[in-house]
Amino acid sequence: MRGKIGLEEHFAVPETAVNPRGTYAEGTWSQLKGRLLELHGERLRLMDRHGIEMMVVSLNAPAVQAVPDPAAAAALARRANDALAELVAKRPDRFQALAALPMQSPDLAIAELERAVTQLGFKGALVNGFSQVNDPDNVVYYDVPQYRPFWAAVERLDVPFYLHPRSPLLRDARLYDGHPWLMGAAWAFGNETAVHALRLMGSGLFDAYPRLSIVLGHLGEGLPFGLWRIDNCNTGAEKTDGNRAKKKIADYFRANFYVTTSGNYSSLGLMHTMLQIGADRVMFSVDWPFEEIELAANWFDAVDMSEGDRLKIGRTNAAQLFKLDVS
């Protein structure tokens, strides 16, 4: 399929192009770093070869979210967003952008989101999970009350918010002791992000701001497969203490969430996700450069689905949600 649009596609500025916890071998990281720092060379050639018309680009993880000082986080977000705006301006027909945000401070996050959307022309925001605030050990998730003004601003600006993974802090990762292979993309990323999304839904956020649109990668971080059981354990007399949502979790997931195929090219997984939330809420993505464009594109172009659904998932859903100027 020609004309695909990718939504979870990363870049870096030099200060965020750091091998996270030494995750990658030196040679592998050298290649990834080179790919993160450019838009118009190898990336664009591979897009042309594999039918990707546009990438909506965002800062790599954890980046801003791992800078505890709010002022320093805001300065980094601003520098990264300005650098990305300059890169996008060279080929706006092929690249658009999502803003990095200093979520350490709701007020600073609102200001940077408004600047990125209204002045830089960004199409929304991508945030790399929880933020460390003031102290590296102080972790904050965005369901807590002080973030309600931020979510009000997201709804007012009418832009999507992409909740991207990061691994838990080492102090919170004892479950993985002795099994480092489970950290990162293999498992911990999805587990961490799914719980964060459930916290948002269970906080009553979408009752207060019903027009919010949240995007999750990797076919929904496992949530489409758990919706029935989650709701079955939270109904009537069985409703768990602390769940302030007025509706079922599945209702919010189908009304306020979109998922992408980034880094999860499972045909059965895609079919299940489409059955759970509908083809109108699924969108193509690669997760470049951490996954290969060729693998993602060849899989998507061949997966067994109607051509109408392929067009929606590959292109038109993203164009509509992110208000992209594509023909």
Tens of pLDDT, residue by residue over 189-210, are: 999 999 999 999 999 999 999 9
Helix or strand or coil: residue 110?
A: helix
Phi, psi of 142 (to 5 degrees): -95, 15
237: confidence class by pLDDT, cuts 50, 70, 90: low
Using CA atoms, how far residue 175 sits from 22, 130, 168, 172, in Å, is 20, 18, 10, 8
Across the range 54-66, mean pLDDT stands at 97
323: confidence class by pLDDT, cuts 50, 70, 90: very high
Q: Is the dihedral of CA 171, 173, 176, 180 positive or negative?
A: negative
DSSP readout, 220-248?
TTTGGGTHHHHHHTSSGGGPPTT---SS-
Alpha carbon distance 326, 315 (integer Å): 9
Q: Does residue 224 belong to any structural domain of this protein?
A: yes
Alpha carbon distance 124, 142 (integer Å): 17
Across the range 28-53, mean pLDDT stands at 96
327: confidence class by pLDDT, cuts 50, 70, 90: confident
Q: Tell me, what amino acid is at 29?
A: W
Is residue 30 scored above 80 in pLDDT? yes
**Mean pLDDT value across the chain:** 95
Q: Which two tokens stand for residue 198?
A: 């459930």
Is the CB of residue 109 less than 8 Å from the CB of residue 103?
yes
238: confidence class by pLDDT, cuts 50, 70, 90: low
Name the more confident of 233 and 302. 302
Using CA atoms, how far residue 112 sits from 17, 73, 76, 109, 314, in Å, is 21, 11, 11, 5, 30
Lowest mean pLDDT among 33-47, 235-249, 304-318: 235-249
29 burial (CB, 10 Å; 0-12 / 13-18 / 19+) is middle
Tens of pLDDT, residue by residue over 74-94, are: 999 999 999 999 999 999 999
Which distant-in-sequence residues (6+ apart) come within 8 Å of 261 by Cβ? 218, 219, 270, 282, 283, 284, 285, 296, 300, 313
| Domains: count for the chain | 1
25: confidence class by pLDDT, cuts 50, 70, 90: confident
Is residue 240 scored above 70 in pLDDT? no
Q: Does residue 327 belong to any structural domain of this protein?
A: no
Residue 236 has a pLDDT of 63
Q: How many residues does the chain have?
A: 327
Tens of pLDDT, residue by residue over 296-305, are: 999 999 999 9
Alpha carbon distance 187, 59 (integer Å): 21
Q: Does residue 115 belong to any structural domain of this protein?
A: yes
Q: Does residue 326 belong to any structural domain of this protein?
A: no
Is residue 55 scored above 60 in pLDDT? yes
Q: Does residue 313 belong to any structural domain of this protein?
A: yes
CATH number, domain of 178, equals 3.20.20.140
Residue 22 has a pLDDT of 65
Please list the residues that pair with 59 across neighbouring strands: 11
Alpha carbon distance 260, 216 (integer Å): 6
Is residue 235 scored above 80 in pLDDT? no
Q: Of 91, 32, 34, 30, whose CA–CA distance to 57 is shortest? A: 91
DSSP readout, 94-105?
TEEE-B---TTS
27: confidence class by pLDDT, cuts 50, 70, 90: confident
Q: Which residues are catalytic?
A: 287
Across the range 268-282, mean pLDDT stands at 97
End-to-end, the C-alpha distance of the chain in Å comes to 15
Q: Which two tokens stand for residue 306?
A: 């109607």
Is residue 239 scored above 90 in pLDDT? no
Alpha carbon distance 221, 214 (integer Å): 13
Kindly give the interhelix angle for 293-302 and 42-49, rounded to the nearest 10 degrees. 20
278: confidence class by pLDDT, cuts 50, 70, 90: very high
Structural domain boundaries enclosing 237: 4-321
Q: Does residue 283 belong to any structural domain of this protein?
A: yes
Across the range 144-162, mean pLDDT stands at 98
Q: Does residue 266 belong to any structural domain of this protein?
A: yes
Query: If you ran DSSP here, which 8-state letter would residue 314 be given?
Result: I
